[in-house]
Structure 1
Amino acid sequence: MIEGSMDRIKENIEAWLKEDIGTGDVTSISTIPAEHQSIGYIHAKEMGMLAGLPIAKLVFEIVDPNIIFSEQAVEGSILNKGDTIATVEGNTRNILIGERLALNLMQRLSGIATKTNQYVKELNNIPVKVVDTRKTTPGHRVLEKYAVKVGGGFNHRMGLYDAVMIKDNHIKATGSIKKAIEAARNQVPHTMKIEVEIEKMTEIEEALAADIILLDNMSIDTLTACVNQIKAKSPHIILEASGGITLETIRGVALTGVDVISVGGLTTSVKNLDISLDLNEKKVIVQ
């Protein structure tokens, strides 16, 4: 996914750098000679899963192609406190210009990957996919969904354009679940799946015309009953559970027999992983 989006990511990085730099880094310009060279060490300050390493490298490449970025850790690996993630060597001013954006992105993406991996591990090999939602930071969706994949999760639709997902407001506007599904079938290509959200068992019969049924905000007992009823009638339908799912509840939800569990919290309730960059005083070189 991220490979096909690199042009857009580069454009975003350039815009984010411009937002931060403005007319220039007045602190570095006023305190550090223009020709000053340094080696910086990017390291983890707490345990977590690493994501965003290629993005951090790209930030420094855009700031200064002469900066040497050397990876010391592997994307998707578990970091321990104190582990060195990468070194950056080159012009000191430019290292400091790229520092904050590179760290911000890597901290955010590592936090998402870490949380996703926690959810995936809770399933303990139950054959259920943990997927993200559209609840992403504007302008960062591609990166955040990439981080979910690094953490072992899967992506739901990327946007409004790549799948039909009929939710409560669509049903209200259309008049019924049946009418909404029929309208979608008449409009979209046969290759596009149609998903519909239901909140109670009485809506199952109409929803069986869809390819995917989202079981939203249900108790374990109701969820189990819905899964059993739907699979007995239409075993080909993909079943997705969503709504307030936590690390404490996801295993119980998975055991109901659903195929997919979507968790908005993978990208909305995330603690950034603490990552820092320090210059090594002993290896600073002035030309």
Structure 2
Amino acid sequence: MNSLKLNEMLKAFFIEDIGERDATSSALFSGTERGSFTLISKENGIFCGADIIAAGFSLLDPEANVTLHAKDGDAIARGAIIAVIEAKTTALLMAERVVLNLVQRMSGIATQSRQAAAIFEGTKTKVCDTRKTTPGLRMLEKYAARCGGASNHRYGLYDGIMIKDNHIDFMGGISKAVAQAKTAAGHMVKVEVETTNKQQVEEAVLAGVDIIMFDNCTPGEIKELVKLVPDTIVTEASGGITLDCLDEYRDCGVDYISLGCLTHSVQALDISAKVNYMEVSR
């Protein structure tokens, strides 16, 4: 992850949560006390968010001492110690919720990505994420997907051309849309086209696209459509595919399967902060 961007994101998240002050902590503590937290996993999963923990607490207390007991991508069991943090008590309390919210969500994405990727072990198919991420968290969520073993699809509208059904309808056809896109983009940018039937796949192949997506197609339909695509063109399946039915696509023969569910509706991994001690300066 980009550490500069991460620090700016964390600053914004802390400002949103703390505002002018932490009314509770400032009422209870003088600001001179130091204490210690242990972050503990309350369920099995894949951990992701080491940089969040290290940078988050250090932003609010530059003298924070963070000891990590897990690295990104590690499988962790219920009751596992993830990290121990020693810092100003007020900093621990102010950082706790923001840090936990992010780490729990990222670990949930990593966990689900690992489950999805495992289904395709031994095949050529790779699982990848989509742009269905939480606004403002895309860098973190896509990083978490990679930690779980998934690949990243495009990061945004800026780093790849993906001609979808509405683009095709506005342009009046795949061939015209692809020709114009290739002219505008040049030879360095790949062009992907979304297709839903045999006619569109054949048109996309003749247009010379780099990637063909089979959108909202059944595993059986995909197996037949893949036969129409030369090996020089990358294939992808997407649309309505969830973990519950993912194994049905194991042998459909595509290069990639993109899953919005990795990020848009993931369940966070339950992680808690337990107080170890507090010391008062004299």
State the secondary structure of the residue aligned to 1:229. coil
State the secondary structure of the residue aligned to 1:120. helix
State the secondary structure of the residue aligned to 2:274. strand
Equivalent-residue separation in structure 1 for 2:88 and 2:71 (angstroms): 25
Structure 2 match to 1:285? 279
Per-residue CA deviations over 1:212-258 (Å, capped at 9, x if unaligned) read 0000011122111101122xxx2211000001112233233231110
Structure 2 match to 1:66? 63
Equivalent-residue separation in structure 2 for 1:89 and 1:7 (angstroms): 23
Equivalent-residue separation in structure 2 for 1:167 and 1:158 (angstroms): 16
Equivalent-residue separation in structure 2 for 1:235 and 1:94 (angstroms): 55
Report which stretch shifted further, 22-31 or 245-254.
245-254
**Is it true that 1:41 corresponds to 2:38 in the alignment?**
yes
Q: Return the offset for 1:33.
A: 3.0
Structure 1 match to 2:140? 143
Structure 2 match to 1:210? 209
Structure 1 match to 2:248? 252
Q: Return the offset for 1:42.
A: 0.6
How do residues 27-176 of structure 1 correspond to structure 2 at under 5 angstroms? 27-176=24-173
Q: Return the offset for 1:185.
A: 1.2
Structure 1 match to 2:19? 22
- Kindly report the root-mean-square deviation, in angstroms, between the aligned alpha carbons of the 2 structures: 1.1
State the secondary structure of the residue aligned to 2:180. helix
- What TM-score do you get using the length of structure 1 for normalisation? 0.95
Give the AA of the match of 2:227.
N
Per-residue CA deviations over 1:89-140 (Å, capped at 9, x if unaligned) read 1211111111111111100100000000010111132121110001111110
Equivalent-residue separation in structure 2 for 1:12 and 1:26 (angstroms): 23
Equivalent-residue separation in structure 2 for 1:76 and 1:235 (angstroms): 32
**Is it true that 1:179 corresponds to 2:160 in the alignment?**
no
Per-residue CA deviations over 1:4-59 (Å, capped at 9, x if unaligned) read x2222211110110111111111111112321111111110111100012112111
Equivalent-residue separation in structure 2 for 1:103 and 1:248 (angstroms): 28
Equivalent-residue separation in structure 1 for 2:198 and 2:247 (angstroms): 22
- 2:194 is aligned, of 190, 194, 197, to 197
State the secondary structure of the residue aligned to 1:284. strand
Q: What is the total number of aligned residue pairs between the two structures?
A: 279
Residue pair 2:124, 2:253 contacting (<8 A) in 1 also: no
Per-residue CA deviations over 1:42-98 (Å, capped at 9, x if unaligned) read 110111100012112111111111111110122211111111100111211111111
Residue pair 2:129, 2:260 contacting (<8 A) in 1 also: yes
Give the AA of the match of 2:210.
D
Report which stretch shifted further, 210-219 or 73-82.
73-82
Report which stretch shifted further, 248-257 or 191-200.
248-257
> Unaligned stretches of 5+ in structure 1?
none
Structure 1 match to 2:220? 221
Residue pair 2:130, 2:153 contacting (<8 A) in 1 also: yes
- What TM-score do you get using the length of structure 2 for normalisation? 0.96
Give the AA of the match of 1:88.
I
> Unaligned stretches of 5+ in structure 2?
none
Equivalent-residue separation in structure 2 for 1:74 and 1:8 (angstroms): 20
Per-residue CA deviations over 1:176-220 (Å, capped at 9, x if unaligned) read 001000111111020111100001112122110211000001112
Give the AA of the match of 2:222.
L
Residue pair 1:254, 1:261 contacting (<8 A) in 2 also: no
Aligned residues with identical type, % of pairs: 41
